[in-house]
Amino acid sequence: MIVEIISVGTEILLGNIVNTNAAYLAEKCAALGLSCYYQDVVGDNEERLLGVIKMALSRADILLLSGGLGPTQDDLTKEAAAKALGRNLYLHEPSKEMIASFFQKRGLEITENNWKQAMMPEGCIVVDNPNGTAPGVIIEDNGKHVVLMPGPPNEMIPMFENAIMPYLNELQPGIIYSQTVKICGVGESKAESMVEDLINAQDNPTIATYAKTGEVHLRVTARAEDEKEAKKLVKPVVKELKGRFGNNIYTTQEDVTLEKAVVDLLLANHLTVSTVESCTGGMLAARLINVSGVSEVFKTGYITYSNKSKHKILGIKKALLEKKGAVSPEVAKEMAKGAALFAKADVAIGITGIAGPEGGSEEKPVGLVYIACSVRGRVDVKEYHFSGNRMKVRESSVSAALSLMRESILAYYSEVTFGEKK
């Protein structure tokens, strides 16, 4: 089936906000096996909105609209959709009650225009919105499905996941099931070439690659009569990918990020961690600390941007800093060792590099970064050459550091085990 994604709102046309709703819906629709040929953005103008809806009805089976369900005169999506399908609006009593109770619970006074949100197109399905006062709407008409959702992502996303996604899945024969294999420490083009034969050979399940900074995600998607059958199709492909990428796969779970995988690995091995950062200036620590529950493992983090600070806080010898330079494998190593010592942490990671735009030289160009990871005294140091602007170099450094942490911890345990066996 063909879907068209329509975002409604003058604030998008003015560039006040980035249209993340469309990207979110597009990714979900692709995962559902729906084809999307067009996305549209249109302002809060009934005539133009009506034109876009009519055009979309002529070329798609499913219309996903977000935005324009609010209480103001500017919010016209329901009105335009009803007009496009020749339906009237009526006062939907349960929605009226829901809106009244929403305001009451929050001790807010309800204004007259809020009742506009309880007006619904005849014969529609009203969709609950637990996070706001604008219910969603599904209108079925002549084999077409028009879905209206609120614009704020914190209302639209839960509504889509809880109600709209299952509805869309039902429209298609069988079901869609997908699993994502998340990989770090392998470049995008290398990862793609490693699965090219699989991508070309398969059409159910399909394999799609998604590149993130320092990561590659492979999504394996199958269509089958039921979930059991779909899982049976996905399983051998995921197994094959595990064989090919081995330890570079950090998770096959949708909701596990790279930083969460690292924190989980630390927790599982009862390891504490400390970070010491120069060019990334706290970004690595900030990403680790985005994992709720990190307090079990995170000790102290240091940001030693200046040479003086590297010397004073971590005890790195001035002579070494002068001889090798702050951006050197030797200093990265001493940073990690110093952090391990002073924070009394099992695992410590040091990052030093040239993020630019200034500070580069022929010998040490912008983008050169050294990262060291110490695991109970066993230290790995790696050299990286990243491209892009200051922020991009720093983001790439953080992803590489997380990847190196995983690698070093796994290497430490494989050596320990190997030693014990001897």
Q: Please, what is the minimum distance in Å from the beta carbon of residue 122 to a copy of itself?
A: 29
| Of 232 and 344, CB closest to a copy of itself | 344
Q: Please, what is the minimum distance in Å from the beta carbon of residue 47 to a copy of itself?
A: 10
Please name the residues in contact with 277: beta carbons below 8 A apart, sequence gap of 6 or more.
Answer: 283, 284, 285, 301, 302, 303, 304, 350, 351
| Of 357 and 365, CB closest to a copy of itself | 357
| Of 398 and 409, CB closest to a copy of itself | 398
Please name the residues in contact with 346: beta carbons below 8 A apart, sequence gap of 6 or more.
Answer: 271, 272, 273, 340, 375, 376
Strands 175-184 and 378-385: unpaired
H-run or E-run covering 24: helix 20-31
Residue type at position 292: S
User: Residue 150, preceding bond cis, omega within 30 degrees?
Assistant: no
Pick the closest to residue 173 from 219, 226, 235, 220 (CA basis). 226
Strands (E), 376-413: 378-385
| Of 12 and 85, CB closest to a copy of itself | 12
User: CB of 77 within 8 A of CB of 9?
Assistant: no
Outline where 172-278 has alpha helix (H).
Answer: 188-201, 227-245, 258-268
Q: Could you give the 3-state DSSP secondary structure of residue 375?
A: strand
Q: Please, what is the minimum distance in Å from the beta carbon of residue 35 to a copy of itself?
A: 9
Q: Please, what is the minimum distance in Å from the beta carbon of residue 229 to a copy of itself?
A: 25
User: CB of 321 within 8 A of CB of 332?
Assistant: no
Q: Please, what is the minimum distance in Å from the beta carbon of residue 5 to a copy of itself?
A: 8
Residue type at position 197: D
User: Residue 205, preceding bond cis, omega within 30 degrees?
Assistant: yes
Residue type at position 239: K
Q: Please, what is the minimum distance in Å from the beta carbon of residue 19 to a copy of itself?
A: 6
Q: How many C-beta atoms lie closer than 10 Å to residue 384's C-beta?
A: 18
Q: Please, what is the minimum distance in Å from the beta carbon of residue 392 to a copy of itself?
A: 9
| Of 162 and 389, CB closest to a copy of itself | 389
| Of 239 and 344, CB closest to a copy of itself | 344
- Tokens describing residue 406: 């995983």
| Of 295 and 417, CB closest to a copy of itself | 295
Q: Please, what is the minimum distance in Å from the beta carbon of residue 202 to a copy of itself?
A: 17
In angstroms, rounded to a whole number, what is the distance separating the alpha carbons of residues 355 and 358? Answer: 8
Q: Please, what is the minimum distance in Å from the beta carbon of residue 97 to a copy of itself?
A: 25
Q: How far is CA 406 from CA 149, 300, 307, 412, in A?
A: 41, 19, 28, 10
| Of 206 and 242, CB closest to a copy of itself | 206
Q: Please, what is the minimum distance in Å from the beta carbon of residue 119 to a copy of itself?
A: 26
| Of 62 and 284, CB closest to a copy of itself | 284
The dihedral formed by the CA atoms of 287, 291, 293 and 295, expressed in degrees to the nearest 10: 0
| Of 40 and 75, CB closest to a copy of itself | 40
User: Tokens 């039921």 belong to which residue?
Assistant: 226
Q: Please, what is the minimum distance in Å from the beta carbon of residue 41 to a copy of itself?
A: 4
| Of 252 and 272, CB closest to a copy of itself | 272
| DSSP letter, residue 223 | E
